[in-house]
Amino acid sequence: MAPQKLNDYERKRLENIRRNDEMMAALKLHSKATQLSNFKRSQRVGTKSYNMKSEKKPKTETPIVIRRSLRTRGIPPDSKGLVGDSVGPTTPTKTKPSVVNLGPISMADARESAHSDSSFVESLMGMAQLEAQDVSVEKEKVEASLGLESLYLDPKNIARVVPGRITSLRFFPSSSVKMVAVGNKFGNVGFWNVGESEVHLYRPHRAPISGILIQPHCFSKIYTSCYDGILRLMDVEKEIFDLVFECDESIYALSLPTNETNCLYLAEGYGGLTIWDNRIGKRSSHWVLHESRINTIDFNCENPHIVATSSTDGTACTWDLRYTDGDKLRALRTFTHKRSVQSAYFSPSGCSLATTSLDNTIGIYSGVNLEDAAVINHNNLTGRWLSTFRAKWGWDDSYLFVGNMKRGVDVVSSVERKIVMTLESQHMSAIPCRFDTHSYEVGMLAGATSGGQVYIWTSR
């Protein structure tokens, strides 16, 4: 076979190989590489671990000790270090809670405002005297002709009344004064005369305020209830927060019928309704009405013996307090929701009932026996950082006002059974959760937020 003819590339490659071999031979690289390889092989053989045999150390046998208590070994307990000779059970030392005073607290000690409250005390006393003179004069019923388009928010009618989340909000039921009382989650109670710059702040409690009660003809005496199970009376004449009632259970709501001045109605513990009689200074009645806590207590203004309760057990009920079966009450009507019912309020005429539930619905019940039901879908999931929504009736049976998660106020029509309008303003910086309407000023609506602000909507 004839040898294959090489091309230029192959000839160049062979020439490079030959030249490199000659260069490596001149430098004696092959012999040096062989010497280095033999040296490393001999060093590796001498350091192998399996050639180095270490002597085994004898194991020291340590006995296994099984721990047994003195009781199982039949030995009496060791009483060393105990005070005295007694080894019986000792009572643990109780740590004092943070300044919980179960007696009367002076307004001066409870005040957290930097300025003096002398002018505030004088104004409350003046309001009380003025209202006492008007007791014999029957006030005309407020005509509730209101155009929703006339409601607006003046920047002057915005104030931060308390620190933190507001849990309770009330207008003073006065035709001469526009003042609100506010309670928050820290136990503060704040007072603000709408339009003024000063806010008067007190702290008579150490837990969330669950209710504020202002009697129509006695503004100098204001009741406050709290989750710590304490009911106090703010007596402006004596300038103290007096202790009225104290229990081991939390108080979740506080109410009073329109025709009653001596008996207070408390939502106590899980599902309990308690009547506290100030004349005898103790409970006069107690019923367990729900399987879980009662969130609101509301009386029918036309029939004060009819009361509505809302509960976390997912129901709202109406009750007739005149008919009791021993220590039990039987519900007149039960309104069921899929989740917790946060409020149940009678309309101003007493002919309708509105409920607000965490199942994202607002229920409106009307008719002779509240048998006509309407359900309006509404986002009521406020989360853990906001107070729950509670739809509040306006000045007649036409509209309900409820918070909106987009920093507005939704207006629900009970006639059209839907949201007909949303009150919005560039001045609102937070979500309004709790509402109240002024009894004698049609169009004056107060909304409270979880940042301690109060917004007052008025009619133009």
State the Cα–Cα distance between residues 333 and 316, nearest whole angstrom: 8
Q: pTM of the predicted model, to two decimals?
A: 0.76
- Name the CATH topology of 105-132+147-459: Methylamine Dehydrogenase; Chain H (2.130.10)
**How is 177-208 classified by DSSP, letter by letter?**
--EEEEEETTS-EEEEETT-S-EEEE---SS-
State the Cα–Cα distance between residues 29 and 40, nearest whole angstrom: 17
Q: Are 391 and 343 in contact (CB under 8 A)?
A: yes
Q: Where are the domains of the chain?
A: 105-132+147-459
Q: What is the dihedral of CA 405, 406, 411, 417, to 10 degrees?
A: -70
Both structure tokens of 307? 């009361």
Question: In this predicted structure, what is the pLDDT of residue 216?
Answer: 79
Q: Are 430 and 145 in contact (CB under 8 A)?
A: no
Q: In residues, how long is the chain?
A: 460
Question: Which DSSP symbol is given to 271?
Answer: T
Q: Are 324 and 306 in contact (CB under 8 A)?
A: no
State the Cα–Cα distance between residues 243 and 2, nearest whole angstrom: 125
Q: Under DSSP, is residue 22 helix (H, G, I), strand (E, B) or coil?
A: helix
State the Cα–Cα distance between residues 446 and 437, nearest whole angstrom: 6
One digit per residue, pLDDT tens: the chain, 460 residues?
A: 556 677 888 888 888 988 888 888 888 777 777 777 777 666 554 444 434 445 556 666 666 666 667 666 667 666 555 444 444 443 444 434 444 667 899 999 999 998 888 888 888 888 877 766 665 444 555 555 678 999 999 999 999 999 999 999 999 998 888 999 999 999 999 999 998 989 999 999 999 999 999 987 788 899 999 999 999 999 999 999 999 999 999 999 999 998 888 899 999 999 999 999 999 999 999 999 999 999 999 999 999 999 999 999 999 999 999 988 777 899 999 999 999 999 999 999 999 999 999 999 999 999 999 999 999 999 999 999 999 999 999 999 999 999 999 999 999 999 999 999 999 999 999 999 999 999 999 999 999 999 999 999 999 8
- Phi then psi for residue 91, to 5 deg, are -85, 130
Give the CA angle between residues 99, 278, 285 to the nearest 5°. 100
Q: Under DSSP, is residue 250 helix (H, G, I), strand (E, B) or coil?
A: coil
